[in-house]
Chain A
Amino acid sequence: MAIEVDMMKKVPVAEQDPLVRARNFDEVCLGYKEEEARAESTRCLQCKNPKCVEGCPVRIDIPGFIEKLKEGDNAGAYEIISEASSLPAVCGRVCPQETQCEGNCIRGIKGEAVSIGKLERFAADWAREHGINPVKKTSGNGRKVAVIGAGPSGLTCAGDLARMGYEVTIFEALHKAGGVLVYGIPEFRLPKDEVVAREIENVKALGVEIKTDYIIGRSETIDELMEDQGFEAVYIASGAGLPMFMHIPGEQALGVYSANEYLTRANLMKAYREDYDTPINKGQKTVVVGGGNVAMDAARTALRLGSDVTIVYRRSEKELPARAEEVHHAKEEGIRFALLTNPVEILEDEEGLVKGIRVIKMELGEPDASGRRRPVEIEGSEYEIECDTVIMALGTTPNPLISSTTDNLETNKRKCIVADEENGATSRPGVFAGGDCATGAATVILAMGAGRKAARGIDDYLNGRQ
């Protein structure tokens, strides 16, 4: 069946019905079928100076891979993407395309941008289903490099270094590799077995060894890795760190979680599955504080566990930092938004259980340092929202573990590790860093890009080219 294409509009993608998916953990977006992808690919204008590529943090040759899809050469499309990205099946699902590639698409000026993310996902999923593996194993050069953290940044760096012939070991603190991809982003957005586990298998297939249950800074320090274990360079990719809290009264009440804890229980520890032991407090009424991807994920997870959910965010809809698609999906699923609203106190009952949250309405004032208009409280506008669970999704502060156990490793005033943006170099020769631990909480694609640059930086360093 040929698909009719409206050049102004994206070819629609199949999704689970909102009412059905609000009760399950299966993936929301079902992805393009081959003929849909082919149809969407015809919308690409093949610009001479492709603006989309400028918007991509890892500069994928977007018109190039879309052209291949149009020709029916799915494998060719995948190969082009793989040259720039090591986790396309992941990025196609979780990148904020609307502010990156798709945000720059010329089609988007008059109509809707080309659905670049969905096409990327199609190419990657197709390759996986057809057993196509990008990996070409090179013969080893016998030189050892250690990577700390098996999130997107560490995995990418390790994969690239292995392809260059290095003997790479990833040390991962948790019992499972993947970082935020396994403990943070939920199953319904990023399937763990089909997508994440496969990407990790690809990295292992290159000869990378992943040691789980291994905490650098406690089991071993960076100095010990380099002096006693013969690693010539180290890449730190240990992620964003500890959740922040608001320091308002009632925050220690029972039923207040950080989003990280809530999502870790649900995702990594699979509290939503009957056959796992992890307890989770399945609230009846949940309030999630924050407006980023993390807040959306927590809210939609609570919904799927059977709760009624309200998101409280202190700025307006326009400033919501989450991906547009997640906000759209959250609304479709019936999550309420209390925008321009900020918590002032969490209310608890005699037993210390959460019984509500006191909030105050806000209005937007002058722009602040981030360029966004600063929310200010409207006096006398306080009111209460009844709830039994509060999830704080307010961002993170760096984990001090590595910086405090590594001498002369420079951190900035936000306590993030200082790393050169071009090659990941830190203040310590041979020690490189990137991803969320250097930038603060950011995105998968930026973490991956940093891993890639650091791999080149490490190769240059070890060959005396730096």
Chain B
Amino acid sequence: MFKILEAEVLADKTYKMVVEAPNVAHACEPGQFLIVRADEESERIALTICDYDREKETVTIVFQTIGESSYKIAEKKAGDSFIDVVGPLGNPAEYVNEPIEEVRKRHYLLVGGGLGTAPVYPQAKWLKEHGVDVDVIIGTRNHDTLIMEQEMIDAVGEEHVFVTTDDGSYKRHGMVTAVIEDLVKNEGRKYDRCVSIGPMIMMKFCVKMTRELGIPTIVSMNPIMVDGTGMCGACRLVVGDEVRFACVDGPEFDGFKVDFDSAMKRMKLYKSEEGRRLLAYQEGSTHHGGCGNCG
């Protein structure tokens, strides 16, 4: 059992938890993820590692409720436990294993969209701690859905954090792509690498922009996963005409090579079925299905 030490609501449907998970906390690096199972009947849900403390042997997860099993995770409180936490999964970000002098020569632009802000945080922190230049863009729907702004500012400094909202309710107004363009074209910033994490549609457009600007871009893919260990093949993606597996070959890939359209299509299947399951779960016995109202 893996004990939950803290549980907090960050925004609507967005939760943060600190969990005791020694195996993960000892070994994880920025870029990696983990899998949680709430209880015996639950699915294995892949989640972002947002922070870790090697001494306290804890990891911090940030997630949104989409399907029934993530709902069950969210219902847990401090003091409760998860039946399984496994990780770290996937490969660390590429710079973790590169000679640090090389990494220091680069200027990094990290782009976090929505929940993607959470996995960007350990990357920002790592780069800053290793003396690497880094700017962070946080994109979100509106002021209420914004997460982790203060943590990010604490990690890299206020002048390096750029928040933008879709509706202009807070700080900059517009998509992250507009901010990237502004920073590079109008504000004289220069980047050698971009790391973009967020909804697939955002990463797709982000890559379109950075390609134009000639900034090599890494994206972190979060397809459907089952085992997360390289056994089932559910997490397959097309990257540069090759079938690759996000859990063993990724989750980070060269954004210029990822086929986002087929990846987005694949996400749909379980979303809808999970969505239906969720209804049944929330509404309990009042939901019998087949009425034609909820599809």
* Chain A residues packing against B (C-beta within 8 Å): 173-175, 183, 212-215, 218-220, 239, 241-243, 245, 247, 251-255, 257-258, 260-261, 264-265, 269-270, 275-279, 281, 351-352, 399-401
Contact = CB atoms under 8 A, between A and B. Distances in A.
Contacts of B23: 213-214, 219-220
Contacts of B245: 242
A410 B43 CA distance: 36
Given A175-B83, A219-B27, A269-B226, A281 B269 contact: yes
Given A174-B227, A261-B233, 20 more contacts: A173-B229, A174-B229, A175-B44, A175-B83, A175-B86, A213-B86, A218-B32, A242-B248, A243-B233, A264-B226, A264-B232, A276-B41, A277-B43, A277-B68, A277-B277, A279-B43, A279-B274, A279-B277, A281-B269, A400-B248
B86 A215 contact: yes
Nearest to A246: B243
B288 interface: no
Contact of B230 (A175, A213, A351, A399): A399
**For A242, A254, A258, A275, which residue has the most chain B Cβ atoms within 10 angstroms?**
A242
Contacts of B269: 254-255, 281
A23 to B, nearest CB: 20
A352 B268 contact: yes
B186 interface: no
A245 B227 contact: no
**For B83, B226, B231, B277, which residue has the most chain A Cβ atoms within 10 angstroms?**
B231
Interface string B254-295: 000001001001101110011001000000000000000000
A322 B110 CA distance: 50
15 contacts: A173-B86, A173-B227, A173-B229, A218-B27, A218-B87, A219-B27, A243-B232, A243-B233, A245-B243, A252-B236, A252-B238, A254-B266, A258-B232, A279-B274, A281-B273
Interface string B20-39: 00011011000010000100
Contacts of A174: 227, 229
B53 interface: no
Interface size class of B (residues with CB under 8 A): 35 or more
A281 B203 CA distance: 28
A265 B243 contact: no
Given A277-B42, A278-B43, A401 B229 contact: yes
Nearest to B238: A252
* A-B interface, 5 closest residue pairs, ranked by CB to CB distance from nearest: A258-B233, A243-B233, A213-B86, A261-B232, A352-B265
B84 interface: yes
B153 interface: no
Contacts of A281: 269, 273
A102 B229 CA distance: 37
Nearest to A175: B84
A241 B86 contact: no
B88 interface: yes
A173 B88 CA distance: 11
A312 to B, nearest CB: 18
Contact of A220 (B27, B42, B238, B243): B27
Given A173-B229, A175-B44, A258 B266 contact: no
B248 A219 contact: no
A281 B249 CA distance: 26
Interface in B209-254: 226-227, 229-234, 236, 238, 243, 245, 248
B168 to A, nearest CB: 34
B85 interface: yes
A278 B43 CA distance: 6
A175 B236 CA distance: 22
A64 B89 CA distance: 49
Given A173-B229, A277-B68, A261 B234 contact: yes
Given A252-B266, A254-B269, A215 B227 contact: no
Interface in B49-107: 67-69, 72, 83-89
A288 to B, nearest CB: 15
Given A213-B23, A400-B248, A219 B233 contact: no
A276 B230 CA distance: 23
Contacts of A251: 243
A337 to B, nearest CB: 24
Contact of A399 (B24, B89, B229, B273): B229
A269 B225 CA distance: 12
A264 B23 CA distance: 24
A134 B44 CA distance: 35
Nearest to A263: B232
Nearest to A276: B41
A391 to B, nearest CB: 11
A218 B88 contact: yes
Contacts of A219: 23-24, 26-27, 87-88
A383 B176 CA distance: 48
B37 to A, nearest CB: 6
A258 B230 CA distance: 12
Contacts of A253: 265
Nearest to B270: A279
Contacts of B231: 183, 239, 241-242, 260, 264, 399
Contacts of A241: 230-231
A265 B64 CA distance: 23
B229 A260 contact: no
B233 A269 contact: no
Interface string B101-122: 0000000000000000000000
Contacts of A242: 230-231, 233, 245, 248
A399 B230 CA distance: 6
Contact of A213 (B27, B85, B265): B85
A59 B43 CA distance: 41
Nearest to B237: A252
B262 to A, nearest CB: 4
A264 B41 contact: no
Contacts of B238: 252
A251 B89 CA distance: 25
A258 B232 CA distance: 7
Contacts of B274: 279
A175 B43 CA distance: 11
A351 B265 CA distance: 8
Contacts of B227: 173-174, 183, 264
Contacts of B226: 261, 264-265, 269
